[in-house]
């Protein structure tokens, strides 16, 4: 049976991404009404993590449980991936035992290699290049918090800060969906030319727009959402003084900058946040901050994505088949020593 991986939102059309979001919306609605459909009954998810995680790990694990399946947390050092065993061998084995694989890998090439050899869908849970599950969640969250009188294609999203893996994915999904995306950062921390080319190509097709600037005040003037992320990540500790000097104070999302945006503008952050660094407490905890709705939506989005990629592949025995196997199993059991 054919199947697809979820490595990059660029591999999917606007319509397909909307289908994932619609699935997320109806499953969340059911969940809020107290109905948790067991759409992935008895299915297993292997979760490979080469880096720590709170939201991605918990949301995928809870999503599988609530959908009637099971998740295995395979943390660094617990499996042989790439050490004592090739990625190829590991992924072939996981494919025989699990219905889907989620992987957070240090290098993007690792997740693409997993996907190349997997016989079940692979879902990218963040790499050094992108974070596709996060940004499907982000677009869903923006749609839930749509400013009055606007539609998706009207939305103006401003990302302030480093060209992180979240920035790359957010820029690409927003432009693919026909939204208007602005990135404000010091020139040195703006996205590479290749990402800009891809985003511009998305705009040409979708009617969206892309602006890259080093002026955060201008960038927020018409923003419906201001979004930021960490200024440094694991492995960049030696760059902290240089990065802090480049971003602070001009690119910090503080109340002064937030107040330059329209009065309806909402604040987003993928979390974890360094409070007082890329954003201040008064913005993170502002009445128009939607960071915890956004976080909660990781759970609902993982459900939508898992169902989208796994549900069509699951096979369950017919009543007739079950009865036949029950008879055979009972016969085998009756021969066991008493």
Our finding on whether 271 is near ligand CP (CB under 6 A) is yes
Our finding on whether 53 is near ligand CP (CB under 6 A) is yes
CB of 279 to ligand CP, least distance (A): 14
**Of 20 and 270, CB closest to ligand CP:** 270
238: annotated active-site residue = no
Instruction: Report the 10 Å Cβ neighbour count for 314.
Output: 14
Our finding on whether 137 is near ligand CP (CB under 6 A) is no
**Of 56 and 190, CB closest to ligand CP:** 56
Choice from 220, 270, 284, 290 touching ligand CP (CB under 6 A):
270
**7 Cβ contact list (under 8 Å, min separation 6):** 111, 112, 115, 122, 124, 132
CB of 298 to ligand CP, least distance (A): 7
Choice from 24, 44, 134, 202 touching ligand CP (CB under 6 A):
134
Helix/strand/coil (H, E, C) string of the chain?
CCCCCECCHHHCCHHHHHHHHHHHHHHHHHHHCCCCCCCCCCCEEEEEECCCCCHHHHHHHHHHHHCCCEEEEECCCCCCECCCECHHHHHHHHHHHCCEEEEECCCHHHHHHHHHHCCCCEEECCCCCCCHHHHHHHHHHHHHCCCCCCCHHHCEEEEECCCCHHHHHHHHHHHHCCCEEEEECCHHHCCCHHHHHHHHHHHHHHCCEEEEECCHHHHHCCCCEEEECCCCCCCCHHHHHHHHHHHCCCCCECHHHHCCCCCCCEEEECCCCCECCCECHHHHCCCCECHHHHHHHHHHHHHHHHHHHHHHHCCCCCHHHHHHHHHHHHHHHHCCCC
301 to 49, 132, 214, 293, 338: CA distances (angstroms): 19, 11, 32, 12, 50
**Of 54 and 239, CB closest to ligand CP:** 54
Our finding on whether 168 is near ligand CP (CB under 6 A) is no
Q: Which stretch binds ligand CP (CB under 6 A): 1-9, 192-200, 268-276, 280-288?
A: 268-276
Rounded Cα distance, 104 and 122, in Å: 11
**Of 89 and 293, CB closest to ligand CP:** 293
Subset of residues 279 to 318 that bind ligand CP, contact rule: CB under 6 A:
none
Q: Which stretch binds ligand CP (CB under 6 A): 27-35, 138-146, 208-216, 265-273?
A: 265-273
99: annotated active-site residue = no
Query: Of 140, 193, 134, 137, whose CA–CA distance to 169 is shortest?
Result: 134
**Of 9 and 95, CB closest to ligand CP:** 9
**Of 224 and 302, CB closest to ligand CP:** 302
224: annotated active-site residue = no
244: annotated active-site residue = no
Count of residues binding ligand CP (CB under 6 A)? 9
Our finding on whether 141 is near ligand CP (CB under 6 A) is no
Rounded Cα distance, 271 and 295, in Å: 8
Please identify which of the residues 5, 55, 57, 104 carries the catalytic annotation. 104
Subset of residues 111 to 130 that bind ligand CP, contact rule: CB under 6 A:
126
Q: Which stretch binds ligand CP (CB under 6 A): 47-55, 82-90, 230-238, 250-258?
A: 47-55
Our finding on whether 55 is near ligand CP (CB under 6 A) is yes
156: annotated active-site residue = no
84: annotated active-site residue = no
Choice from 9, 56, 158, 169 touching ligand CP (CB under 6 A):
56
Q: Which stretch binds ligand CP (CB under 6 A): 54-62, 200-208, 303-311, 323-331?
A: 54-62
Active site positions, annotated: 104, 131, 134, 229, 270, 298
* Site residues, ligand CP (CB under 6 A): 53-56, 126, 134, 270-272
């Amino acid at each position: 049976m054919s199947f697809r991986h979820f490595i990059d939102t660029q591999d999917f059309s606007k319509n397909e991404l909307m289908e994932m979001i619609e699935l997320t919306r109806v499953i969340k609605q059911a969940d809020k009404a107290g109905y948790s459909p067991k759409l992935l009954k008895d299915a297993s998810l292997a979760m490979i993590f080469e880096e720590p995680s709170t939201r991605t790990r918990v949301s995928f694990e809870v999503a599988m449980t609530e959908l009637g399946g099971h998740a295995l947390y395979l943390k660094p050092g617990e499996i042989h991936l790439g050490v004592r065993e090739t990625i190829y061998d590991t992924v072939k084995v996981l494919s025989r035992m699990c219905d889907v694989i989620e992987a957070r890998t240090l290098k993007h090439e690792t997740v693409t290699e997993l996907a190349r050899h997997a016989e079940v869908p692979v879902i990218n849970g963040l790499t050094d290049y992108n974070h596709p599950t996060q940004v499907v969640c982000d677009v869903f969250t923006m749609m839930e918090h749509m400013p009055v009188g606007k539609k998706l294609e009207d939305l103006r999203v401003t990302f302030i800060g480093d060209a992180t893996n979240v920035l790359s994915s957010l820029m690409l999904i927003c432009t693919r969906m026909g939204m208007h995306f602005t990135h404000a950062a010091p020139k040195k921390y703006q996205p590479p030319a290749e990402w800009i080319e891809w985003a511009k190509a998305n705009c040409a097709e979708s009617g969206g727009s892309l602006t890259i600037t080093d002026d955060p005040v201008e960038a927020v003037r018409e923003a419906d959402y201001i979004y930021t992320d960490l200024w440094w990540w694991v492995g960049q500790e030696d760059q902290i003084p240089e990065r802090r000097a480049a971003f602070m104070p001009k690119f910090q999302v503080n109340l002064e900058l937030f107040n330059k945006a329209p009065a309806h503008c909402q604040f987003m952050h993928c979390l974890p946040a360094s409070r007082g660094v890329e954003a201040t407490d008064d913005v993170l905890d502002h009445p128009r901050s939607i960071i915890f709705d956004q976080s909660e939506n990781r759970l609902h989005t993982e459900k939508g994505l898992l169902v989208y990629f796994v549900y069509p592949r699951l096979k369950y025995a017919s009543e007739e088949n079950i009865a036949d196997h029950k008879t055979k199993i009972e016969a085998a059991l009756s021969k066991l020593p008493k």
